[in-house]
Amino acid sequence: MNENKKIVQLHAENHSAEALGIIFAYKQKDHHLVYSMYQGESVHEQKIPLEEWVSYEHFFEALNKKKKLMYELQINDQRYVVNLTPLSYTEKSEIMGHCVNITSYQEKKEQIQPFIYHNVDAVAIVDLEGKTLQVNPAFENTFGWTFEEIYQKPLPIIPSFLKEPVCELHKTIQSGESKTEFETVRQHKDGHLINVSVTLFRVENMNDWPLCIAFVYRDITSRKQAETALKESEQRYRSLIELSPEAIIVHSEGKIDYINPAGAKALGYKSPQDVLGACVYQFVHPDYYDVVKQRIYRMKTENKSVDLQEEKFIHKDGHTIDAETIAFPIPYMGKQAIQVLFRDITERKKTEKLLRESAQLSLVGQLAAGIAHEIRNPLTAVKGFMQLLKETSGQPYYVEMINHELDRIELIADEFLSLAKPQAKTYKDKHVQDILENTLKLAEVQGITEKIHVKKEIDLHLPLVLCEENQLKQVFSNIFKNAVESMPSGGTVTIQLKRFNQENLVVRFSDEGPGITQERMQHLGKPFYSTKEKGTGLGLMVCYKIIREHRGEINFVSELGKGTTVDILLPFKK
């Protein structure tokens, strides 16, 4: 555009040449044309006959038409432009005129004209009154107006809503200020608006007198359409991201650059602003640090996405989130970044676990029913004969041992039947503190004999729980019994009952036993798996089953050498 400015300025000077040169007045006297005044170079010094400057035809044509008459003429080897204007303040036959030698300008024009003519940008030159002096073919093609249609008229490409600011702009340029390239709209002949980039400047003569104003217009409609399409595409993409139910994170150099509302919510935050700038590893489970680092390194070096896989995140409150993730490298804010899509599958994992356990429970129940019946029938007969032997045998000690083991077999058979046999349940609104106290009355007696101290912390002002009382007693008794058996040398069992959150209360049993390893804790509640030497694992399996039916859950926390804590969560009535 700067090169165009220089070319257009030279061209504009050529078209303004008629403003310089000789100013004169003619009038008719005795059928002759004579000077009434002149200023500038003397026509007589040019030694050019008067009739070669202004002929009778030119004189009377200007008078009769009562408007300006402009023409060029060649005298000797010089080129002139002559302008004649009838004088309106006198009734005499008199005209005002001026002429200028444009020979040098004509040479410049011949050199510059190809640049103007073939310029791909639209060029328009107007005088200080805003009337059109020259336009190039690109102007005609861009705006639909021909030079003949707009010559000596204001440029018709200014939309009505811009006329006032454009008028002010012209005044600013006329005063000598410059206006660098700016973007606006102009109007085509058919009325539609065209996006243009405009450069305009004032053309001056060698004495710094303003001659005219030159405009260079570049049609940027295609660029604007592309920018609009890109902006709309970005807005649509951002809307999809912002409204997506899937969590989306963009991070670079270990910092979170963007997170959508679903992502912030999944991590426990109210607003994405609370997460921006945080270290991405702050939300990665420690077990997955190395996995995540390897994935990031592979994406940076290979510039490829990584396959869908499961990993764990850390929620704001500290609990673990199971998630499915997929990640891929993207450019973001002028730098390479990684976009991560993750879906919280914690509930799905729990459901899958419940389905597996239900399937196991169903299978165990079917086996238990058959085994229990097969055991109980001969067991009854054996116990009867052992009672007779006890009375007649001379070895009562051995008989007593056999009876003890038979009782244990019968207990296992009863546990089998409790798994297999559907039981009629009546759920009622109860105070869990009452059920717990009634259970502990009997359990505390057992604790005294085992050198166990029972410490109770029970909130007596808790809401009701819809439950089956006897089943909860069975669960509390079983968990307490496990705690006592984990401390053969005695110790303290702490039992707490309190509100856990806005939906659940918690019954917590804490012992001082040896603790359970993380590996073994994963198998708790499975049939025939027990941490006790002679345990079957069926008791805890029944506890899990009962609490699930109460829409609650059982959670274990254990540390080797310090003991185990069992949390039983039960939903209360609101």
pLDDT tens-digit map of 366-414:
666 666 656 666 777 677 767 777 666 666 767 777 777 777 677 666 6
Q: What is the pLDDT of residue 145?
A: 93
**Average pLDDT for residues 293-310, to the nearest whole number?**
88
Position 510 confidence tier, pLDDT thresholds 50, 70, 90? very high
Residues 506 and 497: beta-carbon distance below 8 Å: yes
Partners of 491 in beta bridges: 452
Q: And the tokens for 559?
A: 């540390």
pLDDT at 176 over 60: yes
The proportion of the chain whose per-residue pLDDT surpasses 70, expressed as a percent, equals 72
For position 546, what pLDDT does the model report? 87
- How far apart CA 85 and CA 23 sit, in angstroms, is 11
Which two tokens mark 64? 């009769």
Q: By the 8 A CB rule, do 100 and 18 touch?
A: yes
**Rounded distance between C-alpha atoms, residue 313 and residue 289, angstroms:** 10
Q: What are phi and psi of 316, to 5 degrees?
A: -55, -35
We find that the CATH architecture of domain 119-224 is: 2-Layer Sandwich (3.30)
Q: Which residue has the tokens 């009997």?
A: 442
DSSP 8-class letter at 177:
-
Q: What is the pLDDT of residue 129?
A: 81
Tell me how far apart the alpha carbons of residues 194 and 418 are, in angstroms, rounded to a whole number.
84
With CA atoms as reference, report the closest residue to 87 among 97, 78, 79, 77.
97
pLDDT at 570 over 50: yes
306: pLDDT confidence band, cut at 50, 70 and 90? confident
Is the pLDDT assigned to residue 275 strictly greater than 70?
Answer: yes
Of 3.30.450.20, 3.40.50.300, 3.40.50.960, 3.40.50.10800, the CATH number of 244-344 is 3.30.450.20
pLDDT at residue 192 in the model? 93
Query: ∠175-179-185 over CA atoms, to 5°?
Result: 120
What's the CATH architecture for 2-106? 2-Layer Sandwich (3.30)
Which residue would you say has higher pLDDT here, 312 or 241?
312
Task: Please answer whether residues 316 and 268 qualify as being in contact, where contact means their C-beta atoms are separated by less than 8 angstroms.
Answer: yes
Average pLDDT, the chain: 79
pTM of the model: 0.42
CATH of 352-420, one of 1.10.287, 1.10.3470, 1.25.40, 3.40.1130: 1.10.287
Q: pLDDT tens digits for 455-471?
A: 999 998 899 999 988 88
Q: Do the domains 428-571 and 244-344 match in fold?
A: no
pLDDT: which is higher, 331 or 355: 331
Which one has a higher pLDDT value, 89 or 550?
550
- When comparing pLDDT for 100 and 318, which is higher? 318
pLDDT category, 16, cuts 50, 70, 90? very low
Nearest by Cα to 500 from 430, 569, 555, 431: 569
Instruction: Measure the CA angle with vertex 424, ends 422 and 426; round to 5°.
Output: 140
Task: Report residue 267's pLDDT band, with 50, 70 and 90 as the boundaries.
Answer: very high
Class of the domain covering 428-571: alpha beta
Phi, psi (5° rounding) for residue 100? -145, 145
CB 221 within 8 A of CB 195: yes
Residue 429 confidence (pLDDT) above 80? yes
> What's the pLDDT tens digit per position in 58-105?
777 877 777 777 777 787 777 777 778 887 655 567 777 777 776 665
- Indicate the domain borders of the chain: 2-106, 119-224, 244-344, 352-420, 428-571
Report phi then psi at 243, rounded to 5: -95, 0
Residue 245 is classified by DSSP as: S
Q: Answer yes or no: is pLDDT of 504 > 90.
A: yes
- Average pLDDT of 301-321? 89
Does residue 109 carry a pLDDT above 90? no
Q: What is the pLDDT of residue 574?
A: 74
Helix (H) or strand (E) holding 559: strand 553-559
557 φ/ψ angles, rounded to the nearest 5 degrees: -130, 125
Q: Say yes or no to pLDDT of 489 above 90.
A: no
Residue matched to tokens 């994406």: 299
pLDDT at residue 19 in the model: 42
Q: Which of 142-151, 198-207, 242-251, 562-571 has the lowest mean pLDDT?
A: 198-207
Q: Mean per-residue pLDDT for 148-154?
A: 90
Residue 13's pLDDT is: 45
**Residue at token pair 């023409």:** 71
What's the rounded Cα separation, in Å, for the pair 354 and 506? 21
Q: Which three-class secondary structure state does DSSP give residue 94?
A: strand
Average pLDDT over residues 35-54: 55
Three-state secondary-structure class, residue 40:
coil
- Helices 396-420 and 538-549 pack at an angle, to 10 degrees, of 30
Which range is most confident: 88-102, 222-236, 437-451? 222-236
pLDDT over 80 (residue 132): yes
Give 7's pLDDT tier (boundaries 50, 70, 90).
very low
